[in-house]
Chain A
Amino acid sequence: MIKSELVQKIAAQNPHLYQRDIENIVNAILGEVVAAMARGDRVELRGFGAFSVKNRPARTGRNPRTGAHVSVDQKYVPFFKTGKEMRERLNRDSGGPVGDDEDDED
């Protein structure tokens, strides 16, 4: 599924909204997650997972082809940890149909 398909699926469930609105909603959500990570904040979405930023200190790397030393600056990398419920859902190997018609209340 790509972003436009996600927008279409949400739009189909919300006939009173314009597709343009749904696009803005999806972008607002993702934009907020990115902005938080850019500030170094953590984003915790219960049942889904948590986004955080990890620091990778500067190090001396090697060009694998030439063996030359290359200094690598310190950097930040995005990190995602899958939430507990998400992990369980991925392994709920019932084999039964996972309907979009049933709404599990958690």
Chain B
Amino acid sequence: MTGKTVTRADLCEAVYQKVGLSRTESATLVEMVLKEITDCLERGETVKLSSFGSFVVRKKGQRIGRNPKTGTEVPISPRRVMVFKPSAILKQRINMEPDAAAE
């Protein structure tokens, strides 16, 4: 557990190291991949990435919520939410011994 936060810049660096494109192009490609996934989800489509997991869009119906501070009832309008279902492989990787995971 190092407790670091990995960002876009780290993903670009990984692409740069592993694929051998320029840093600029690596960054562009990372954005393209994220955009493609986002666009797909926005259309309500499921995105399945084998050995990683899948992103699913779910529709939530309208329900009555409450403002926890005042107790007043507030209607919560129907909306779409996205959930991530990790693959079995990902779950397994996360539970490996830290030493093995660092290899």
Contact = CB atoms under 8 A, between A and B. Distances in A.
Given A28-B15, A80-B84, A90-B57, A33 B52 contact: yes
Contacts, number: 158
B6 A43 contact: yes
25 contacts: A1-B45, A1-B47, A2-B49, A9-B36, A14-B29, A25-B29, A28-B11, A28-B14, A30-B49, A30-B51, A32-B11, A36-B10, A41-B5, A42-B4, A44-B6, A45-B8, A49-B82, A53-B94, A75-B95, A76-B95, A87-B81, A89-B42, A90-B57, A91-B79, A92-B42
A15 to B, nearest CB: 13
Contact of A6 (B17, B18, B33, B46): B33
A90 B42 contact: yes
B15 A43 contact: no
Interface size class of B (residues with CB under 8 A): 35 or more
A77 B94 contact: yes
Interface string A32-65: 1111111111111111110101000000000000
Given A86-B38, A90-B80, A10 B46 contact: no
A45 B34 contact: yes
A80 to B, nearest CB: 3
A32 B34 CA distance: 14
A90 B40 CA distance: 10
Contacts of B90: 34, 37, 78
B6 A13 contact: no
A82 B90 CA distance: 18
A66 B96 CA distance: 30
A12 to B, nearest CB: 10
A99 B25 CA distance: 23
A25 B15 contact: yes
Interface string B34-66: 101111111101111111110001000000000
